[in-house]
Amino acid sequence: MTKARPVSRLLRSLVRAGKAQQRLATKLVAVAMPKTVKGSPAATKKRTARAKTSLTMRQHSRPNAIPAPGKWSVGKFPESSVHAASHAPQMSYWLYLPDHSPATVVRRGSPLIVMLHGCHQSATQFAKGTRMNHLVETKGWAVLYPQQPLTAQAHRCWRWYRPDVQDGGGETAVLAALVELVCVQHHIDRQRIYACGISAGAGMAAILALNHPAMFAAVGLHSGPVFGAGRNAMDGLRVMRQGSTTDPHTAVDHMLSRHALQSKNAAGDSFPPMPAILIQGDDDQAVHPVNQHQLTDQWLRINGMRSDRTCERVTQSQAVRGGKRNAYETHEYLVDGKPILRVVRIRGLGHAWSGGDPSERFNAEAGPDASKMILSFFAKYRR
């Protein structure tokens, strides 16, 4: 009990810091026709017309107010609450399937992105904030949004800081089983499955992909903590603010050794290449940018690349969106001319999804558009 209160206070402090960095607007809700009002039929007609005009203007000014045209379904995993109670809390998830797909996607199946929200977010808020459903619609990609149950973690944080989760247990095993279920139930291209997340969701996406490298073709980590450094919730907060205080290669080496042992026992292959895109704001007060530096070193090691970074290509760019201009720097680490690791640092960005819907917290309207960058990167790779 004595540890719970400091953790709760630190998390509340963390949320307040995140809120201060981004524009918070009133959340969009489902728009209904106005209720019956008193007055003449002519007055009622005018009020209705004004409401329709206002709705049209809002929809055009904020395209994400209009739902993407594909199929948006919700489910529970495991479906049996009795089974869930004996193993792990029952997890809600949302799945987006596009309305139209290119011929190649129809033939091979839809690529699948697993999107993992951050703390104090729901799956639907993350979907709306990132606008990912709208972006994948013309490409024919499917998007899976698992949601951490409040019964598992009071702030909906994925528990990336726990050793059992880092080693493939807990949420890692549940999420992998959920992805497998979606692949069985739908026409998914198993060579094109990707893991993506922000903050705690990014930490979980990294763990998921590294424990199941044969399942995932690439990862996208936005504002994520360094891999394998935490041991508990208090330690996780320290990692977010300071990065790893020990050599970040230690956790990677442990993971690679464990995989090598498992592969030897199962007569499997060595650890495959794992392409990654790392996106971070240089003004992030929740997850310090040192985490991105350490993740870069870890992912170079995971992909067997030299730490002297002689394969690096650096570009400077600017993005203009919502009347704001953001400069950002991209570092690419190449194998045969193809980026196996892309590291994006955005000037002035706090703890928020770059280029997201600012009506949802933890989203910054100013670009670059992180969702587009991640999709473009994922499109280059298949397992």
Model confidence over 171-190: pLDDT tens digits? Answer: 999 999 999 999 999 999 99
Most confident of 89-103, 255-269, 313-327: 89-103
And the tokens for 328?
A: 């950002």
Residue 52: which residues within 8 A CB-CB, separation 6 or more?
none
Q: Is the pLDDT of residue 156 over 90?
A: yes
Q: Over the chain, what is the mean pLDDT?
A: 82
Query: Which residue did the predictor score with more confidence, 65 or 317?
Result: 317
- What is the spatial distance between Cα 175 and Cα 166, in angstroms, rounded to a whole number? 13
Query: With contact defined as beta carbons under 8 Å apart, do 144 and 112 qualify?
Result: yes
- Element spanning 228, H or E: none
> Pick from 346, 187, 185: which is nearest to 281 by CA?
346
- What is the spatial distance between Cα 344 and Cα 297, in angstroms, rounded to a whole number? 14
Sign of CA dihedral 323, 331, 130, 359: negative
In a domain, 258, yes or no: yes
In a domain, 293, yes or no: yes
- What is the spatial distance between Cα 271 and Cα 251, in angstroms, rounded to a whole number? 15
In a domain, 335, yes or no: yes
Using CB atoms within 10 Å of the CB of residue 266, give its burial: 0 to 12 exposed, 13 to 18 middle, 19+ buried: exposed
**Total number of domains constituting the chain:** 1
Range of the domain at 262: 66-378
pLDDT (0 to 100) of residue 88: 67
pLDDT tens digit string along 352-370?
A: 999 999 999 999 998 899 9
Confidence of residue 266 (pLDDT cuts 50, 70, 90): low
Most confident of 37-41, 102-106, 368-372: 368-372
Query: With contact defined as beta carbons under 8 Å apart, do 362 and 205 qualify?
Result: no
- What is the spatial distance between Cα 148 and Cα 144, in angstroms, rounded to a whole number? 13
Most confident of 13-22, 45-54, 57-66, 148-157: 148-157
pLDDT (0 to 100) of residue 259: 87
Backbone angles phi, psi at 243, to 5 degrees: 75, -170
pLDDT (0 to 100) of residue 80: 64
pLDDT (0 to 100) of residue 46: 46
In a domain, 145, yes or no: yes
In a domain, 41, yes or no: no
In a domain, 144, yes or no: yes
Query: With contact defined as beta carbons under 8 Å apart, do 80 and 102 qualify?
Result: no
In a domain, 307, yes or no: yes
pLDDT tens digit string along 301-353?
A: 999 987 665 668 888 888 767 667 789 999 999 988 889 999 999 999 999 99
Query: With contact defined as beta carbons under 8 Å apart, do 93 and 77 qualify?
Result: yes
Query: With contact defined as beta carbons under 8 Å apart, do 101 and 95 qualify?
Result: no
Query: With contact defined as beta carbons under 8 Å apart, do 33 and 48 qualify?
Result: yes
Confidence of residue 79 (pLDDT cuts 50, 70, 90): confident
In a domain, 239, yes or no: yes
Q: What is the DSSP string of 164-203?
A: HHHTT-THHHHHHHHHHHHHHHTTEEEEEEEEEEETHHHH
- What is the spatial distance between Cα 203 and Cα 67, in angstroms, rounded to a whole number? 29
What does pTM read for this prediction?
Answer: 0.80
Using CB atoms within 10 Å of the CB of residue 284, give its burial: 0 to 12 exposed, 13 to 18 middle, 19+ buried: buried
Share of the chain above pLDDT 70, in %: 77
CATH of residue 241's domain is: 3.40.50.1820
